[in-house]
Amino acid sequence: MSPTSGAVLVFNAGSSSLKYQLVQPADGTVLAEGIAERIGDTGSSMTHEQNGETVTETLQLDDHLAAVRRAERFFADNGTDLADAGLSAVGHRVVHGGRSFYEPTVVTPEVISEIERISPLAPLHNPANLVGILAAQELLPDVPSVAIFDTAFFHGLPDASATYAIDRAVADEHAIRRYGFHGTSHEYVSGRVAEFLDRDPASLNQIVLHLGNGASASAIAGGQPIDTSMGMTPLEGLVMGTRSGDIDPGLVLHLNRVANLSVGEIDTLLNKRSGLRGLCGENDFRAITELMESGDDAARRAFDVYIHRLRRYLGAYAFALGRVDAITFTAGVGENSAVVRCCALAGLEGFGIVVDEERNAVRSKAARRISADGSAVEVLVVPTNEELAIARQSAAVVGG
Ligand code: AMP
Kindly report the backbone phi and psi dihedral angles of residue 69, in degrees, each rounded to the nearest multiple of 5, phi listed first. Answer: -65, -40
Do the first three CATH levels of 8-149 and 199-386 match, i.e. the same topology?
yes
Q: Say how many C-beta atoms besides its own lie within 10 A of residue 146's C-beta.
A: 28
Query: What are the structural domain ranges in the chain?
Result: 8-149, 199-386
Question: Residue 335 has what pLDDT?
Answer: 98
Mutate to test the pocket of ligand 1, among 284, 288, 385 (most ligand atoms within 8 A of CB): 284
Residue nearest to atom 10 of ligand 1 (CA): 284
pLDDT along the chain (400 residues), means of 10: 92 90 96 94 94 95 92 96 95 95 96 94 89 92 97 97 98 96 97 98 98 97 98 97 97 98 97 97 95 97 98 98 98 97 98 98 97 98 97 93
Quote the ligand 1 centre to 173 CA distance (angstroms).
Answer: 38
Question: How far apart (Å, rounded) are the C-alpha atoms in residues 59 and 24?
Answer: 29
Beta bridge partner(s), residue 330: 210
| Catalytic residue (choose from 63, 150, 167, 172) | 150
Quote the ligand 1 centre to 122 CA distance (angstroms).
Answer: 24
Question: Residue 400 has what pLDDT?
Answer: 64
| CATH class (in words) of the domain with range 8-149 | alpha beta
Is this structure's pTM higher than 0.85?
yes
Beta strands in the chain (DSSP E): 8-13, 18-23, 30-37, 45-50, 53-58, 89-94, 105-106, 145-149, 205-211, 215-221, 224-228, 326-330, 368-369, 378-381
Quote the ligand 1 centre to 371 CA distance (angstroms).
Answer: 22
Query: Which residues, in sequence order, are CB contacts of 49 under 8 Å at separation 6+?
Result: 32, 33, 34, 55
Residue nearest to atom 9 of ligand 1 (CA): 284
Question: Residue 2 has what pLDDT?
Answer: 85
Task: Give the distance, in angstroms, between the CA of residue 221 and the centroid of all CA atoms in the same chain.
Answer: 20
Pocket of ligand 1 (CB under 6 A): 212-213, 241, 283-286, 331-333, 336-337
Question: How far apart (Å, rounded) are the C-alpha atoms in residues 33 and 21?
Answer: 4
Question: Residue 338 has what pLDDT?
Answer: 98
Quote the ligand 1 centre to 336 CA distance (angstroms).
Answer: 7
Question: How far apart (Å, rounded) are the C-alpha atoms in residues 173 and 117?
Answer: 14
Which CATH number is 199-386's, of 2.30.30.60, 3.30.420.40, 3.40.920.10, 1.10.510.10?
Answer: 3.30.420.40
Which atom, in ligand 1's list, is nearest to the CA of 288? 12
Task: Please report, for residues 82, 224, 387, the alpha-carbon distance to residue 92 in angstroms, rounded to integers and kept in the order given.
Answer: 16, 23, 9
Kindly report the backbone phi and psi dihedral angles of residue 199, in degrees, each rounded to the nearest multiple of 5, phi listed first. Answer: -125, 155
Question: Residue 54 has what pLDDT?
Answer: 97
Bind-site residues for Mg(2+): 12, 386
Question: How far apart (Å, rounded) are the C-alpha atoms in residues 96 and 123?
Answer: 10
Q: Say how many C-beta atoms besides its own lie within 10 A of residue 116's C-beta.
A: 12
Residue nearest to atom 11 of ligand 1 (CA): 284
Three-class secondary structure assignment of 95-121:
CCCCCCCCCCEECCHHHHHHHHHCHHH
Which atom, in ligand 1's list, is nearest to the CA of 214? 2
- For residue 17, give the nearest of 49, 40, 39, 48 by alpha carbon: 39
Please say if 41 is a catalytic residue.
no
Bind-site residues for ATP: 19, 210-214, 284-286, 332-336
- For residue 19, give the nearest of 153, 183, 123, 129 by alpha carbon: 129
Query: Which residues, in sequence order, are CB contacts of 353 under 8 Å at separation 6+?
Result: 324, 327, 345, 371, 375, 376, 377, 379
Bind-site residues for substrate: 93
Contacts 24+ apart (CB under 8 A), 301-309: 302/276, 303/343, 305/239, 305/279, 306/238, 306/239, 306/276, 306/340, 307/340, 307/343, 307/344, 309/238, 309/239, 309/245, 309/246
Burial class of residue 168, CB neighbours in 10 A (0-12, 13-18, 19+): exposed
Question: Residue 228 has what pLDDT?
Answer: 98
Mutate to test the pocket of ligand 1, among 213, 242, 341 (most ligand atoms within 8 A of CB): 213
Quote the ligand 1 centre to 144 CA distance (angstroms).
Answer: 33
